Amino acid sequence: MMRIYAVLLMISIGYVGAFEFKNAPEVQERINPSNSPQSIQSYASSLGDATKAVVNISTQKQVSNTIPNHPMFNDPFFQQFFGDIYGQIPRDRIERSLGSGVLISADGYIITNHHVIDGADKILVSLSGSTKEYTAKVIGSDSRSDLAVIKIEANTPTISFANSDKVQVGDVVFAIGNPFGVGETVTQGIVSALNKSGIGINDYENFIQTDASINPGNSGGALIDSRGALIGINTAILSRTGGNHGVGFAIPSEMVKKIAKELIEKGAIKRGYLGVGIQDVSEDLQESYAQKEGALLISIEPQSPAAKAGLMVWDLITEVEGKKITNAQDLKNLIGMLPPKQKITIKYIRDKQKRTAQVVLGELSNDEGVHASNAQGAPNNTNGGIDGLSVNEITQSLRQRYRIPDNVQGVVVTEVRRDSLADRAGFGIGDVIAQIEDSNITKPSDFWAALSKFKNKNKRILVYSRNGIKTIILR
């Protein structure tokens, strides 16, 4: 009897603590997409106009061979010695490539990728369902966004634009292009992800990700929704083999519209310039910024719009012109889409206080940009210095040895002891410590004073390294 009771007790205890799943209702009916044996499910009517607006692009580029350009090949004796063989050496060749484009106006304007037409001597365009080729001229091209506008002299169909800001993950989409040069092809998939950045393809990245097959030759083609409206321009795939693996990226139509309009009207893109280096709020920085999202300023260019507006290193930008900023890429994309000289309102957090600044944007030059970096963290040091770290004043010889730019000021790290606190924190020899919290560092005494000032507190340390700017957190 005792054994039976024990078993019943165990069963009872097990029952009380049982895990329960949320079950979906039982399936009661399976519905055929078509209720008629004479009907099928099809997107043909939605795709008709869109496919007519996608064109095939072929480019030609004359490439000179390097060997025939050697002075020896121009020597008469060399030519006479080799005779007919010399004449058979090709002096140049024609390099050809294929891509796609999308007609965006009835008078022949076409949007495509910058990399499709970059460096081409001749651009040929053929319309859907036609073998006739048109010679296109370049209206404008922007390498930073990988978009270009070309034009043919013809009356053409045109595509309708959807608002890519309204696209949702799971939407049915179609990719239209000219994969592998086989001619116009349509593939189906869904929107796999939105706002993808950090891919390393373009300077300005806000991609729509899709599993619709995008293959070589699809570049510059259309990504459309189930109505046939353009939501993006296909631009790249992630692949180890060159084939499609279901990870394709398209430039959103809202970005496409802004870039295309400016290229058509002005022939080039002029972008706003803030003059800052930025990074995301990493896990190590969450505590310092009360779990806030935004773009963290880690450098300010002297005399830049940001500097003139009073922004400082470690300000956290959370909003620009009423639009929420969740990460560094958001800020970069938004500023890059605004014109120079525009006055904008920026909301930011400094010392856990919300603030507002008015900034008049400058103009981004070709060699300028907004640089992102990573943050690192380590436990705090309990003594006056940082265990395992030695610093020195930046002398001219040290500046040359570690290739420190003339405009970078601070103290240079000359020793990092292996497995020390400094090593674990991420310091490296040749790094320049420029700021600790709100204290600027220009000489070793500044460094020691700042460490003493913030002793036993979390410290943000701004570091210039060979790999860029980084923030190291000491707890």
In angstroms, rounded to a whole number, what is the distance separating the alpha carbons of residues 125 and 136?
7
CB 148 within 8 A of CB 140: yes
The answer to whether 115 is a known catalytic residue is yes
In angstroms, rounded to a whole number, what is the distance separating the alpha carbons of residues 118 and 126?
18
The answer to whether 92 is a known catalytic residue is no
Sign of the Cα torsion 226, 228, 230, 236 reads positive
Which of helix, strand or coil describes residue 109? Answer: strand
In angstroms, rounded to a whole number, what is the distance separating the alpha carbons of residues 393 and 376?
24
Q: How far is CA 374 from CA 78, 174, 270, in A?
A: 58, 36, 28
Which 8-state DSSP code applies to residue 285?
A: G
User: Among the options 58, 142, 146, 330, which is catalytic?
Assistant: 146
- Encoding tokens for residue 411? 């103290």
User: Among the options 141, 164, 213, 219, which is catalytic?
Assistant: 219
In angstroms, rounded to a whole number, what is the distance separating the alpha carbons of residues 319 and 334?
10
Q: Residue holding tokens 């525009």? A: 342
CB 429 within 8 A of CB 417: no
DSSP 312-348: -TT-EEEEETTEE--SHHHHHHHHHTSPTT-EEEEEE
Q: Which residues pair with 122 in a beta bridge?
A: 60
> In which element (H, E) is residue 141 found?
strand 133-142
- Residues with Cβ within 8 Å of 375's Cβ and at least 6 positions away in sequence, in order, are 279, 280, 282, 284, 285, 296, 470, 471, 472, 473
Which of helix, strand or coil describes residue 241? Answer: coil
Q: Rounded to the nearest 5°, which phi and psi values hold at 138?
A: -85, 125
- Encoding tokens for residue 39? 């009907």
Helices (H), 292-443: 305-308, 328-336, 396-401, 421-425
User: Among the options 97, 115, 142, 304, which is catalytic?
Assistant: 115
The answer to whether 219 is a known catalytic residue is yes
Which 8-state DSSP code applies to residue 161?
A: B
> In which element (H, E) is residue 136 found?
strand 133-142
Q: How many CB atoms lie within 10 A of CB 452?
A: 10
In angstroms, rounded to a whole number, what is the distance separating the alpha carbons of residues 178 and 74?
43
In angstroms, rounded to a whole number, what is the distance separating the alpha carbons of residues 338 and 343?
10
Residue numbers annotated as active site: 115, 146, 219
